[in-house]
C-alpha cells in the first residue's frame, strides 16, 4: 500500500484530501480541539541594527538612518558582514554635495549636514584677460598662472585674490620667435621659482628650464638650460630644485645646484627615452618621483646627493598605467594614475589609489576609485590630473563625468583625511571636450583654485551650486527577508525662496546611480516652509500600499535657493519598515485512521492504511517539503519540524479519530 | 404519488438511489476501460486511470468481491496489477450468475456493502411477505371434492365459492389435515359435486427476475413503499449501518431516534416498514369495506 500522490489523483479536494506534503496527499483530521493552525514564526534573531541615535525610535519596526555622511561614497549595501564603523556614515554616490563630517571651526563645532557645495567662477584679471594652467599657489598666497591669449604664453602673477578682478602682473613672456609655451611652474618658497618653457624659433623646436630667485614680480626669469628637441619638467621637493629632461633616447632627472650653471647639475636618475617624470613630491623620509613607466622611485640624500634607495610598482598594474599625480601626508599617500586606452583621442581610464608609506616607498595599495571603466574604449581623459592637500582634505582634480548625471564636467573630488571617505565635491565647469588638457588644483585663502590648460582659471565662490543629489545605500537590515517599507523621515533646515529638497525612494537596486530610472518614486518634496520630522508614507504608486521588498534606498535631491546664496541642509534621513514575517509555522492534523473518508463516498476501511500514512509522515521529519493545504489555502515551503505519535480524538458523531500533527516551518509561496 | 408500471429492477434502482447508495454515500468503485472478453466468461478487465483514489485500489485486493454495475454477479478478485490496471477474477461466485453485459464505462463496485443480489432477494422476500396483511383477491376453478379441501398454495384467506351460475356460497378457513402450514377451505355449505370457483385473498407472487412487473403481479403503488421499507430493513439487518444512513432513517422516524445504535436503527426500520404496512392494510380494508376500520392516513401523498 502506498500513500496517494498528486499524480494519481486528478482532483485532490474532490477526493477528500486536505493537504499535500511534497507529492503525497493526506486527509485532514478535524475534531474538537484538533484543527489546522497557522502562526507566524518568531524571528530567529533580532534584525534591529543601531548605528545612530535616529535608529532608536519608539516605533515598532526597523529604523535605519543617516545622520552623518562623512564616510564617503561607495557603500552599496548599508548592512554587510565585512563592514566597518564608518559604514554608518557612508552612502552609494553623490554629486555636488558637501558631505564633510563634523568638524571643529573657529567658533563652534559645525554639525555634519548634507548641503550643496560651492560653485566656481572663471577669474578675469585687471588686465581683462582669462588665464589657464599651469598654475601654482605660493605659500604667501600669490598665484602664478599662464595667460595663453598672447602669441607667446605669459606667466602672470595674480594678487588681491579676493577682489572681483585680481591684480594681474605679467612676470615673464615665453621665448620663441613664433610662439612659446609655459609647460610647468614650480615654487619652493616665496622667492624661488622654476618654469619649463617650450620654444619655437622659426621651426626649430627647443625646450628650456627657467629660474627666478627674486620672488617673481621684481625678479627676472633666466634660462638655466635649453636644448633642442627636448622637453623639460620642473619640480621643487625637499628644498631642492629638480627638473626632468626627456629626449627620444633617454630621460633624466637632475638637480640644480647652481641656477644658471647647468654644468653643476647632478644627475639623480635616468630612464628610457620618452619616459618622463610626471610628479615629484617630498614624502618626508624621501623624495618620491613618479616615472612614466609606472614606477615610483624613492630618493634620499647620500653624502648630499639624492640617490635611488627604493622603487615601488603599482599592484597589478596595467602596462599602460602610469602615475599622474601624488600626495603624501604622514604615512598616507594618494596616487592618481591613468591608463591610456585610446592614445589618438587621449582616452584614458583614471584610477585613485590609497597607499601607506612604509619606510620610503608606498605599499598596501588600495584602489579607491576608478573613473571611466568599464568604457575600455573611452575617448575621454578621466585621469586624476592634480591633487592638493589641505588641513583635513585632499582635493583631486580631473575631467571626471558627474557620478550621477554623467555630464562631462571638470570636477573636484574630496578625500577626507579624518574618515578616509571619498566624495564628489563639485563640478568646476562644463567641458564637453575630451582633450587631455592638464588641470591643476590649489588652495589659497580658504578657497580652491583650479586651472585648466587652454580653458581658464577658476576659483571657488560663496554661491552654491544649483543642485546636487545623493543616493543612499540599499537598506536591508541585514536580512534577506522582504520588509514592509512604511515611510521615511527627514530633518531639514530649508533655505530661502526656491530652495527644495526632494526625497525619492526605490526598491530596485538597479536604480542606484541612475536618476532617470523610473524606479525612483517621489516620496516628498520639501519646500521653504517644510521641516520634515513627520513620517512620510512610502506607498507603491500602482497598488497604493506599502511596498514589500528586501531593499529600500533613498535618493535626496537638493536645490539651492533661487539666488544660490544659501543651501538647504539635511541633518538626517531615516526609513521605517516592518519585518515581513514570512516564516510561518503550520500545524496540520493529518488523519491516520484506517478508515478513509471522502466527500460523497461511503467511508472506506483500508486495513493498515493509517500505519502506512503515519510511517510515510515520519520519514518526512527533518526533510524539506512543499506543503499545500487546500482549504484554507496555504502554500508553504519549509522543513518538517515534527510528526507527533498517533493521537486520538472523539468526534461529536461517529467513531474515534486517529491523527498525527505534522509541524512545518517555512515560507509562504504562491 | 406513485404511478405507472414498476418492475423489480425499477424498485431496486430506487432503493439504491434513495437509501442504500444515495448521492452522498457512493461506494468505492472503478470504471471499466476494457471489459472482460467474452463478457460472461472473461476473467480480466482493465479499469480507467485517474478516477479511483489509491486507497480504494488498495482495498481491491486478492479475495475482494466486486460487482458489475446493473448485474447481480459477484466476482472475486484474484490478482490486481495496479501498473496495467488489470483485475483478474473468478466470475459468478457465491451462487450468482455471470453478467451478460458489461459496457465500457460501467462501474465496478469494490466490496459492495449491499450487493444487488442481496437487494433482489430481500425485495422478493418483502413482496412475498406482504401477505397476510396485504393481499390480492384472486379466483381459481375449485370443484367440490370434499367438505375440507386444500386451498391454492398462495391462498391466505378463502372468501366465497361461486358456482357456474353465479350463486355464491360462504366458505371458511379451517385447519387442514393434509399439508402442514397450508390453508384449507371448509366447503360445508357448498353443494356437493358442483363445479365452481373459489374467491380468496392470495399472496402476491414472488418475483423471480428483475424484469418482473410488480404492478401486474398485484402490488399496488402504495405498497411499493412497504416493499422498499422491508427490503431496506432486511438488507440493513445484514450490513453495517452507517452514521449517515442512521441520521437519514432516524429523521424519517422520530427525533428521538437520533444518535442511536445500529441495532436500534435496524429495529426502527422494521417498525417503519410495519407502520407502512398497517397503513396500507387499513387502506385496503377501507376500500373493500370488508372490515370496519378507521379511514387510512394520507401517508402516500
pLDDT (0 to 100) of residue A167: 92
Encode pLDDT of B215-239 as tens digits. Answer: 888 898 888 988 988 888 888 776 5
Residue B73 has pLDDT above 80, yes or no: yes
Residue B146 has pLDDT above 80, yes or no: yes
CA dist list (Å): A474 to A78, A496, A513, A523, A553: 6, 31, 12, 16, 5
pLDDT (0 to 100) of residue B28: 92
Encode pLDDT of A338-393 as tens digits. Answer: 888 776 667 788 899 999 988 888 899 999 998 887 655 667 788 888 898 887 88
- B23 touching A (Cβ < 8 Å): yes
* Facing B28 at nearest CB: one of A2, A604, A653: A604
d(CA A394, CA A413): 8
Compute the C-alpha angle B10/B13/B16, nearest 5°: 150
* Facing A8 at nearest CB: one of B25, B27, B54: B54
Higher pLDDT, B254 or A146: A146
Contacts of B52 in chain A (CB under 8 A): none
Query: Burial letters for B119-138: b for 16+ Cβ neighbours within 10 Å, e otherwise?
Result: bbebbbebbebbbebbbbeb
CA dist list (Å): A290 to A295, A350, A556, A601, B252: 6, 16, 40, 91, 108
pLDDT (0 to 100) of residue A192: 86
The rounded percent of chain B whose pLDDT value lies above 90 is: 43
Find cell 489546522 and name the residue.
A36
Interface of A with B in 5-24 (CB under 8 A): 5, 8-10, 15
pLDDT (0 to 100) of residue B257: 40
Helix (H) or strand (E) holding B249: helix B243-253
d(CA A347, CA A104): 41
d(CA A306, CA A299): 6
Interface of B with A in 67-86 (CB under 8 A): none
| Contact of A485 with A547, CB cutoff 8 Å | yes
pLDDT bucket at B2, cuts 50 / 70 / 90: very low
Encode pLDDT of A231-283 as tens digits. Answer: 899 999 988 999 999 999 999 999 999 999 999 999 999 988 888 898 999 99
Please provide residue B245's backbone torsions phi and psi, each rounded to the nearest 5 degrees.
-65, -40
Minimal Cα–Cα distance from B49 to chain A, Å?
8
- A598 touching B (Cβ < 8 Å): yes
* Facing B54 at nearest CB: one of A2, A601, A602: A2
pLDDT bucket at A640, cuts 50 / 70 / 90: very high
CA dist list (Å): A251 to A134, A293, B296: 22, 11, 136
d(CA A502, CA A213): 55
With CA atoms as reference, report the closest residue to A63 among A75, A76, A78.
Answer: A78
pLDDT (0 to 100) of residue A276: 85
pLDDT bucket at B243, cuts 50 / 70 / 90: very low
Minimal Cα–Cα distance from A9 to chain B, Å?
6
- Quick check: B58 and A1 CB within 8 A? yes
pLDDT (0 to 100) of residue B242: 47
Chain A residue with the nearest C-alpha to that of B259: A653
Residue A560 has pLDDT above 90, yes or no: yes
Residue B94 has pLDDT above 90, yes or no: yes
Residue B299 has pLDDT above 60, yes or no: no
Contacts of A598 in chain B (CB under 8 A): 53
pLDDT bucket at A38, cuts 50 / 70 / 90: confident
Residue A577 has pLDDT above 80, yes or no: yes
Q: Which three cell numbers stand for residue A11?
A: 482532483
Minimal Cα–Cα distance from A660 to chain B, Å?
19
Three-class DSSP category at A429: strand
Q: How many CB atoms lie within 10 A of CB A154?
A: 23
| Contact of B108 with B45, CB cutoff 8 Å | yes
Encode pLDDT of A85-124 as tens digits. Answer: 888 899 999 999 998 876 655 545 566 789 999 999 999 9
CA dist list (Å): B256 to A252, A653, B30, B98: 121, 16, 39, 44
* Facing B59 at nearest CB: one of A598, A604, A654: A604
pLDDT bucket at A533, cuts 50 / 70 / 90: low
d(CA A411, CA A404): 13
Chain A residue with the nearest C-alpha to that of B20: A602
- Quick check: B25 and A654 CB within 8 A? no
- A651 touching B (Cβ < 8 Å): no
Find cell 563630517 and name the residue.
A101
- A602 touching B (Cβ < 8 Å): yes
Residue B264 has pLDDT above 80, yes or no: no
- A2 touching B (Cβ < 8 Å): yes
- Quick check: B59 and A10 CB within 8 A? no
* Facing B58 at nearest CB: one of A598, A603, A606: A606
- Quick check: A10 and B23 CB within 8 A? no
pLDDT bucket at B248, cuts 50 / 70 / 90: low
pLDDT (0 to 100) of residue B75: 97
pLDDT bucket at A587, cuts 50 / 70 / 90: very high
Encode pLDDT of A467-524 as tens digits. Answer: 999 999 999 988 888 888 999 999 898 999 999 999 999 999 999 988 889 999 999 9
* Facing A603 at nearest CB: one of B50, B53, B242: B242
pLDDT (0 to 100) of residue A601: 85
- A652 touching B (Cβ < 8 Å): no
Burial of A144 (0-12, 13-18, 19+ CB in 10 A): buried
Higher pLDDT, A19 or A371: A19
- Quick check: A4 and B259 CB within 8 A? no
pLDDT (0 to 100) of residue B244: 47
Burial of A456 (0-12, 13-18, 19+ CB in 10 A): buried
Contacts of B25 in chain A (CB under 8 A): 600-602
pLDDT (0 to 100) of residue A396: 92
- Quick check: A4 and B23 CB within 8 A? no
Chain A residue with the nearest C-alpha to that of B27: A602
What average pLDDT does the segment B17-38 reach?
Answer: 92
d(CA A514, CA A354): 27
pLDDT bucket at A316, cuts 50 / 70 / 90: low
Minimal Cα–Cα distance from A601 to chain B, Å?
4
Q: Do strands A624-629 and A548-549 pair parallel, antiparallel, or not at all (unpaired)?
A: unpaired
- Average pLDDT over all residues of chain B: 83
Contacts of A27 in chain B (CB under 8 A): none
- Quick check: A604 and B26 CB within 8 A? no
Please provide residue B118's backbone torsions phi and psi, each rounded to the nearest 5 degrees.
-70, -40
Is the model's pTM score more than 0.80? no
CA dist list (Å): A423 to A393, A402, A624, B257: 11, 11, 47, 89
pLDDT bucket at A9, cuts 50 / 70 / 90: confident
Query: Burial letters for B107-116: b for 16+ Cβ neighbours within 10 Å, e otherwise?
Result: bbbbbbbbbb
Query: Burial letters for B214-245: b for 16+ Cβ neighbours within 10 Å, e otherwise?
Result: bbebbbbebbbbbbbbbbbbbbbeebebbeeb
- Quick check: A602 and B26 CB within 8 A? yes
Minimal Cα–Cα distance from B114 to chain A, Å?
12
Encode pLDDT of B110-134 as tens digits. Answer: 999 899 999 999 999 989 888 888 8
pLDDT (0 to 100) of residue B265: 62
Interface of B with A in 245-264 (CB under 8 A): 259
DSSP B207: P
ipTM: 0.71
Chain A residue with the nearest C-alpha to that of B22: A600
Find cell 512545518 and name the residue.
A664
The rounded percent of chain A whose pLDDT value lies above 90 is: 40
Three-class DSSP category at A41: coil
Encode pLDDT of A49-99 as tens digits. Answer: 677 666 666 566 788 998 889 899 999 999 988 888 888 899 999 999 998
Residue B181 has pLDDT above 60, yes or no: yes
Please provide residue B54's backbone torsions phi and psi, each rounded to the nearest 5 degrees.
-60, -35
Chain B residue with the nearest C-alpha to that of A16: B53
Chain B residue with the nearest C-alpha to that of A593: B55
Residue A628 has pLDDT above 90, yes or no: yes
- A429 touching B (Cβ < 8 Å): no
- Quick check: A2 and B28 CB within 8 A? no
| Contact of A453 with A132, CB cutoff 8 Å | yes
pLDDT bucket at A48, cuts 50 / 70 / 90: low
With CA atoms as reference, report the closest residue to A328 among A280, A366, A368.
Answer: A280
Q: Which three cell numbers stand for residue A140?
A: 604667501
Minimal Cα–Cα distance from A646 to chain B, Å?
20
Encode pLDDT of A394-405 as tens digits. Answer: 999 887 766 777
Encode pLDDT of A423-466 as tens digits. Answer: 998 888 877 665 656 788 888 877 889 888 777 899 999 999 99
pLDDT (0 to 100) of residue A54: 67
Amino acid at each position: 500500500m502506498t500513500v496517494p500522490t498528486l499524480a494519481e489523483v486528478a482532483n485532490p479536494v474532490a477526493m477528500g484530501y486536505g493537504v499535500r506534503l511534497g507529492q503525497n496527499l493526506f486527509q485532514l483530521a478535524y475534531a474538537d480541539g484538533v484543527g489546522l493552525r497557522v502562526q507566524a514564526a518568531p524571528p530567529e534573531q533580532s534584525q534591529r541594527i543601531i548605528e545612530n541615535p535616529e535608529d532608536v525610535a519608539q516605533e515598532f519596526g526597523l529604523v535605519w538612518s543617516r545622520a552623518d555622511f562623512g564616510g564617503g561614497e561607495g557603500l552599496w549595501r548599508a548592512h554587510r558582514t565585512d563592514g566597518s564603523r564608518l559604514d554608518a556614515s557612508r552612502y552609494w554616490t553623490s554629486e555636488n554635495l558637501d558631505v564633510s563630517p563634523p568638524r571643529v571651526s573657529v567658533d563652534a563645532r559645525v554639525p555634519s549636514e548634507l548641503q550643496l557645495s560651492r560653485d566656481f567662477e572663471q577669474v578675469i584679471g585687471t588686465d581683462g584677460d582669462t588665464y589657464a594652467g599651469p598654475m601654482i599657489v605660493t605659500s604667501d598666497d600669490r598665484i602664478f598662472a599662464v595667460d595663453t591669449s598672447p602669441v607667446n604664453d605669459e606667466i602672470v602673477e595674480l594678487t588681491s585674490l579676493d577682489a572681483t578682478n585680481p591684480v594681474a602682473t605679467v612676470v615673464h613672456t615665453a621665448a620663441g620667435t613664433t610662439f612659446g609655451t609655459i609647460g610647468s611652474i614650480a615654487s619652493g618658497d616665496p622667492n624661488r621659482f622654476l618654469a619649463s618653457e617650450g620654444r619655437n624659433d622659426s621651426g626649430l623646436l627647443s625646450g628650456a628650464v627657467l629660474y627666478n630667485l627674486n620672488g617673481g614680480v621684481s625678479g627676472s626669469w633666466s634660462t638655466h638650460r635649453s636644448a633642442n628637441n627636448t622637453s623639460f619638467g620642473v619640480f621643487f621637493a625637499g628644498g631642492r630644485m629638480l627638473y626632468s629632461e626627456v629626449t627620444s633616447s633617454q630621460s633624466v632627472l637632475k638637480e640644480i645646484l647652481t641656477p644658471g650653471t647647468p654644468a653643476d647639475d647632478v644627475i639623480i636618475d635616468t630612464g628610457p627615452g620618452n619616459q618622463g617624470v610626471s610628479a615629484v613630491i617630498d614624502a618626508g623620509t624621501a623624495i618620491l618621483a613618479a616615472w612614466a613607466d609606472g614606477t615610483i622611485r624613492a630618493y634620499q640624500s647620500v653624502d648630499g646627493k639624492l640617490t635611488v634607495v627604493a622603487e615601488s610598482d603599482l599592484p597589478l598594474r596595467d602596462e599602460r598605467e602610469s602615475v599622474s599625480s601624488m600626495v603624501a601626508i604622514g604615512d598616507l599617500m594618494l596616487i592618481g594614475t591613468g591608463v591610456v586606452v585610446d592614445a589618438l583621442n587621449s582616452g584614458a581610464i583614471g584610477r585613485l589609489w590609497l597607499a601607506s608609506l612604509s619606510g620610503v616607498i608606498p605599499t598596501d595599495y588600495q584602489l579607491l576609485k576608478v573613473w571611466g571603466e568599464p568604457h575600455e574604449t573611452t575617448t575621454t581623459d578621466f585621469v586624476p590630473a592634480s591633487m592638493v592637500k589641505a588641513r583635513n582634505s585632499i582635493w583631486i582634480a580631473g575631467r571626471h563625468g558627474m557620478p550621477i548625471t554623467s555630464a562631462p564636467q571638470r570636477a573636484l573630488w574630496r578625500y577626507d583625511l579624518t574618515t578616509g571617505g571619498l566624495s564628489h565635491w563639485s563640478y568646476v565647469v562644463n567641458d564637453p571636450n575630451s582633450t587631455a588638457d592638464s588641470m591643476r588644483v590649489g588652495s589659497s585663502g580658504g578657497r580652491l583654485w583650479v586651472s585648466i590648460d587652454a580653458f581658464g582659471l577658476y576659483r571657488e565662490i560663496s554661491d552654491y551650486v544649483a543642485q546636487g543629489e545623493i543616493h543612499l545605500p540599499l537598506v536591508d537590515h541585514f536580512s534577506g527577508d522582504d520588509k514592509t517599507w512604511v515611510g521615511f523621515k527627514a530633518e531639514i533646515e530649508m533655505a530661502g525662496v526656491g530652495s527644495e529638497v526632494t526625497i525619492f525612494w526605490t526598491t530596485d537596486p538597479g536604480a542606484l546611480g541612475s536618476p532617470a530610472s523610473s524606479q525612483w518614486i517621489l516620496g516628498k518634496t520639501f519646500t521653504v516652509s517644510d521641516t520634515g520630522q513627520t513620517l512620510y508614507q512610502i506607498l507603491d504608486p500602482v497598488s497604493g500600499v506599502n511596498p514589500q521588498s528586501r531593499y529600500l534606498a533613498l535618493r535626496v535631491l537638493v536645490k539651492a535657493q533661487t539666488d544660490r546664496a544659501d543651501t538647504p541642509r539635511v541633518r538626517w534621513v531615516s526609513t521605517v519598515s516592518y519585518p515581513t514575517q514570512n516564516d510561518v509555522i503550520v500545524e496540520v492534523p493529518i488523519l491516520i485512521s484506517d478508515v478513509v473518508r471522502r466527500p460523497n463516498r461511503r467511508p472506506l476501511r483500508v486495513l493498515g492504511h493509517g500505519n502506512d500514512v503515519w510511517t510515510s509522515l515520519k520519514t518526512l521529519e527533518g526533510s524539506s517539503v512543499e506543503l499545500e493545504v487546500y482549504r484554507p489555502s496555504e502554500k508553504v515551503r519549509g522543513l518538517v519540524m515534527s510528526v507527533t505519535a498517533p493521537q486520538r480524538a472523539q468526534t461529536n458523531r461517529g467513531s474515534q479519530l486517529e491523527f498525527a500533527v505534522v509541524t512545518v516551518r517555512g515560507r509562504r509561496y504562491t | 404519488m406513485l404511478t405507472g408500471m414498476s418492475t423489480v429492477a425499477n424498485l431496486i434502482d430506487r432503493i439504491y438511489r434513495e437509501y442504500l447508495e444515495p448521492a452522498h454515500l457512493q461506494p468505492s468503485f472503478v470504471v471499466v476501460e476494457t471489459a472482460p472478453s467474452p463478457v460472461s466468461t472473461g476473467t480480466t478487465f482493465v479499469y480507467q486511470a485517474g478516477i479511483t483514489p489509491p486507497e480504494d485500489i488498495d482495498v481491491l485486493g486478492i479475495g475482494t468481491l466486486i460487482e458489475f454495475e446493473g448485474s447481480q454477479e459477484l466476482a472475486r478478485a484474484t490478482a490486481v496489477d495496479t501498473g496495467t490496471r488489470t483485475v483478474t477474477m473468478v466470475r459468478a461466485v457465491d451462487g450468482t450468475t455471470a453478467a451478460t453485459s458489461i459496457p465500457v464505462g460501467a462501474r465496478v463496485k469494490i466490496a459492495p456493502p449491499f450487493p444487488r443480489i442481496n437487494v433482489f432477494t430481500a425485495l422478493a422476500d418483502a413482496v412475498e411477505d406482504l401477505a397476510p396483511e396485504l393481499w390480492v383477491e384472486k379466483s381459481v376453478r375449485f370443484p367440490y371434492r370434499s367438505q375440507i379441501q386444500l386451498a391454492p398454495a398462495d391462498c391466505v384467506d378463502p372468501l366465497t365459492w361461486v358456482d357456474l351460475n353465479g350463486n355464491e356460497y360462504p366458505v371458511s378457513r379451517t385447519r387442514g389435515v393434509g399439508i402442514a402450514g397450508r390453508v384449507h377451505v371448509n366447503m360445508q355449505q357448498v353443494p356437493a359435486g358442483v363445479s365452481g370457483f373459489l374467491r380468496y385473498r392470495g399472496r402476491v407472487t414472488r418475483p423471480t427476475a428483475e424484469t418482473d412487473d410488480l404492478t401486474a403481479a398485484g402490488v399496488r403503488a402504495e405498497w411499493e413503499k412497504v416493499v422498499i421499507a422491508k427490503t431496506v430493513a432486511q438488507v440493513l439487518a445484514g450490513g453495517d449501518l452507517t452514521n449517515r444512513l442512521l441520521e437519514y432513517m432516524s429523521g424519517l422516524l422520530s427525533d428521538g431516534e437520533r444518535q442511536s445504535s445500529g441495532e436500534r436503527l435496524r429495529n426502527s426500520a422494521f417498525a417503519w416498514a410495519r407502520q407502512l404496512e398497517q397503513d396500507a392494510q387499513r387502506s385496503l380494508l377501507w376500500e373493500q369495506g370488508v372490515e370496519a376500520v378507521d379511514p387510512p392516513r394520507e401517508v402516500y401523498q
